[in-house]
């Protein structure tokens, strides 16, 4: 998708609420997807992944949903905590098996105490 430059989409939620972060991916050949969390000054940190033969995968407090028909991913975070505040990126592999990823432009999650 298009870059939003300095103006990242921002999602503000209250501590304890559930968060849903959405991502539209671009390549219908992509068959592996990852959600990363990036805190200021840090590198991306793996949260959860999903392969195209699944439409839902759950981790600890996180769930990823994949809708291949509309090329859409979402990340659900249950009982959001202040420590969840960060920028979240989805990444797709473009159908490539050599682990090269294409990242979205990110969503900033702001958790209010």
Partner 1 sequence: GAGVSQSPRYKVAKRGQDVALRCDPISGHVSLFWYQQALGQGPEFLTYFQNEAQLDKSGLPSDRFFAERPEGSVSTLKIQRTQQEDSAVYLCASSPDAALIGNQPQHFGDGTRLSIL
Residues in the site for partner 1, rule: CB under 8 A? 3-8, 31-32, 34, 36, 41-46, 49, 51, 89, 91, 93, 97-106
The CA distance from 105 to 112, in Å, is 23
Query: In 3-state terms, what secondary structure has residue 2?
Result: coil
8 Å CB contact between 52 and 25: no
Distance of closest approach, residue 101 Cβ to partner 1, in angstroms: 7
Residue 7 or 69 having the CB closest to partner 1: 7
Distance of closest approach, residue 69 Cβ to partner 1, in angstroms: 21
Residue 78 or 101 having the CB closest to partner 1: 101
Evaluated on CA atoms 43, 45, 49, 55, the torsion sign reads negative
Residue 24 or 79 having the CB closest to partner 1: 24
Query: In 3-state terms, what secondary structure has residue 83?
Result: helix
Residue 15 or 49 having the CB closest to partner 1: 49
Distance of closest approach, residue 113 Cβ to partner 1, in angstroms: 25
- Burial class of 38 by CB neighbour count within 10 A (0 to 12, 13 to 18, 19+): middle
């Amino acid at each position: 998708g298009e870059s939003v430059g300095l103006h990242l989409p921002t999602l503000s939620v209250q501590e304890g609420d559930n968060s849903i972060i959405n991502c539209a991916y671009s390549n219908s050949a992509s068959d592996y997807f990852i959600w990363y969390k990036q805190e200021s000054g840090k590198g991306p940190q793996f949260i959860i992944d999903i392969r195209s033969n699944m439409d839902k995968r759950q981790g600890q407090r996180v769930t990823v949903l994949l809708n291949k028909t509309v090329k859409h991913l979402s990340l659900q975070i249950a009982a959001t905590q202040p420590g969840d505040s960060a920028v979240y990126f989805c990444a797709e592999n473009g159908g490539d098996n050599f682990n090269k990823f294409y990242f979205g432009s990110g969503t900033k999650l702001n958790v209010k105490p």
